[in-house]
Amino acid sequence: MDTKRTTFNNRLLPYLLLAPQLAITLVFFIWPAAQAVKSSFEREDPFGFSTVFVGLTHYRQLFADPNYLDALWRTAVFAVSVTVLSMMLGLAFAAAVDRLARSAKVYTTLLVWPYAVAPVVAGVLWWFLFNTSTGLLPFFLERLGIRWDHDLNGTHAMILIIIAAAWKQISYNFLFFLAGLQSVPQSLIEAAAIDGSGPVRRFFTISLPLLSPTTFFLFIINVNYTMFDTFPIVDATTGGGPAQATTTLVYKVYQDGYVGLNIGSSSAQSVLLMLIVMLLTFVQFRFVERRVQY
């Protein structure tokens, strides 16, 4: 890397140039995060007149609360299911499109569309499709002998939000996998073909190992997505129910803080959520550093 370095004679100018970006980061990221950390140690009276420092009380209460531990476990199931489902489907579509010669562009464009749909709309869309009384899918499921009812059946509700959340993420995974597959040198595939490896075997022994950097990257992104960005989907479809069967960590933060007005506990939960994601990302990157090199 031999890029030319710009040197500033004016000592103030570089800070001025950085200021807008720093200001945005401070105001919209650091400050709220710091506020959350601060209020997680405090208890506020119902009218907002006084706050008391309570130390780790909220955290202690959370880990003693079976509702919270259930939400933690539920979120793990949700995150893993959505990630695995959307990545597998994204990869399958990418592998299919990669084999197309002529119409690949059209398919790519069509497959990317769901990503442009707002999460709430995606949620509502699936909610309609799965609607117990008017939906198309329960109608067909009924014929297969399955009585679909996500309003009463917690498992059904969970499946609904997994499908809705995964559906939105398939496009994203598809794009990255397709780019990854297309950067696998053609000559490697040809060499493998001459080496007696059929299309399926080639995919699993050549393409897939070479995609591992993409796969690990997407894994991180997808887990983070399901942890944070799926709030609108849950809210628009199940509202966390029935009987909290779809209350994920991020939804619980909203319910306890915004609906239940328990700001302290809600803040503690979001701090924990933040820590979980930071930890996951850290572990994954360490893992990626060592494992993905080839």
Partner 1 sequence: MAGIHISEVSKIYTGGVKAVSSVSIDIVDGEFIVLVGPSGCGKSTLLRMVAGLEAISAGEVKIAGRVVNQIEPAERDIAMVFQNYALYPHMTVYNNLAYGLKNRGTPKAEIDTRVAEAARMLEITQYLERKPRQLSGGQRQRVAMGRAIVRKPAAFLFDEPLSNLDAKLRVSMRGEIKRLQRRLGTTSIYVTHDQLEAMTLADRLVVLNGGEIEQIGAPLEVYHAPASTFVASFIGSPAMNLVKGELHGDKLAIGPAMIALNGFAPTSGAVTVGVRAEDLRIARDDEEALPFRLEYTEELGAQRLIHGTVGDQQITAAVSPEIALSPEMRIAVDAKRLHFFSIETGKRLPGNVPAEAKLAPVEPVI
Binder of partner 1 out of 65, 142, 195, 289 (CB under 8 A): 195
Q: Choose among 29, 30, 39: nearest CA to 267.
A: 39
- Least separation in angstroms between residue 214's CB and partner 1 is 13
Distance CA 197, CA 70 (A): 47
Distance CA 217, CA 247 (A): 27
Binder of partner 1 out of 209, 258, 260, 283 (CB under 8 A): 209
- Least separation in angstroms between residue 182's CB and partner 1 is 16
Is residue 72 close enough to count as binding partner 1 by CB under 8 A? Answer: no
Judged by CB, which is closer to partner 1: 4, or 290? Answer: 290
For 145: left if phi > 0, alpha if psi spans -120 to 50, otherwise beta; the answer is left
DSSP 3-state of 43: strand
- Least separation in angstroms between residue 209's CB and partner 1 is 4
Judged by CB, which is closer to partner 1: 109, or 187? Answer: 187
- Least separation in angstroms between residue 92's CB and partner 1 is 21
E-strand ranges in the chain read 42-44, 51-53
Burial class (CB in 10 A: 0-12, 13-18, 19+), 97: buried
Size of the site for partner 1 (CB under 8 A): 19
Distance CA 117, CA 171 (A): 11
Please, are residues 160 and 80 in contact by the beta-carbon 8 Å criterion?
no
Tokens 């989907």 correspond to 233
Calculate the dihedral angle through the C-alpha atoms of 175, 177, 183, 189, rounding to the nearest 10 degrees: -140
Judged by CB, which is closer to partner 1: 199, or 260? Answer: 199
CA angle 265, 270, 273 (to 5 degrees): 125
Is residue 200 close enough to count as binding partner 1 by CB under 8 A? Answer: no
Judged by CB, which is closer to partner 1: 133, or 187? Answer: 187
Stretch that binds partner 1, among 48-56, 64-72, 201-209, 258-266 (CB under 8 A): 201-209
Tokens 């001025």 correspond to 16
Residues 221 to 260 in contact with partner 1, rule: CB under 8 A: none
- Least separation in angstroms between residue 35's CB and partner 1 is 46
Judged by CB, which is closer to partner 1: 131, or 197? Answer: 197
CB atoms under 10 Å from CB of 41, counted, come to 19
Is residue 289 close enough to count as binding partner 1 by CB under 8 A? Answer: no
Q: What Rg do the C-alpha atoms of the chain give, in angstroms?
A: 24
Is residue 206 close enough to count as binding partner 1 by CB under 8 A? Answer: yes
Asked if residue 242 has a cis previous peptide bond (ω within 30° of 0), the answer is: yes
Stretch that binds partner 1, among 27-35, 62-70, 114-122, 180-188 (CB under 8 A): 180-188
- Least separation in angstroms between residue 223's CB and partner 1 is 24
Binder of partner 1 out of 191, 243, 259, 261 (CB under 8 A): 191
Binding region for partner 1 (CB under 8 A): 185, 187-188, 190-198, 201, 205-206, 209-210, 212, 294
